[in-house]
Amino acid sequence: MKNRSAGDILLNTYAWCCALILTSAVLIIAGYLVFHGFSTLNLDLIFAHTPVLEALLLKKQVFGGLLPAIAGTLALIFLSISFALPVGIAAGVFLAEFALPGTRKILGLMFDIMASIPSIVVGLSGFAVTIFLHQHFFKQLYPCLLISALCLAFLVVPYIIRSTQIALESLPSQARLTAPGLGATRAQNLWYVLIPMAAKDIVGGVILAIGRSAEDTAVIMLTGAVATAGIPGSVFSGYEALPFFIYYTAAEYADAAELMKGYGAALILLFICGGLYAFAYWIKKKVR
Residue 34 lies in a domain: no
Residue 26 lies in a domain: no
Residue 27 lies in a domain: no
pLDDT surpassing 70 at residue 193:
yes
pLDDT surpassing 80 at residue 287:
no
Picking from 157, 143, 155, the residue whose alpha carbon sits closest to that of residue 235 is 143
Average pLDDT over residues 197-217: 82
Which band of pLDDT confidence, cut at 50, 70 and 90, is reported for residue 79?
very high
Residue 218 lies in a domain: yes
Residue 164 contacts residue 208 (beta carbons within 8 Å): no
Q: What is the reported pTM?
A: 0.84
pLDDT surpassing 70 at residue 46:
yes
Residue 194 lies in a domain: yes
Q: What's the domain count of the chain? A: 1
Average pLDDT over residues 17-31: 91
Picking from 44, 69, 26, 127, the residue whose alpha carbon sits closest to that of residue 243 is 69
Residue 9 lies in a domain: no
Mark 23-56 as b/e (b = at least 16 C-beta within 10 Å).
eeeeeeeeeebeebbeebeeeebbbeebeeeebe
Which band of pLDDT confidence, cut at 50, 70 and 90, is reported for residue 4?
low
Residue 21 lies in a domain: no
In whole angstroms, what is the distance from residue 43 CA to residue 41 CA? 7
Residue 28 lies in a domain: no
Q: Which domain holds residue 143?
A: 41-287
Q: In this structure, what CATH number is given to the domain that contains residue 267?
A: 1.10.3720.10
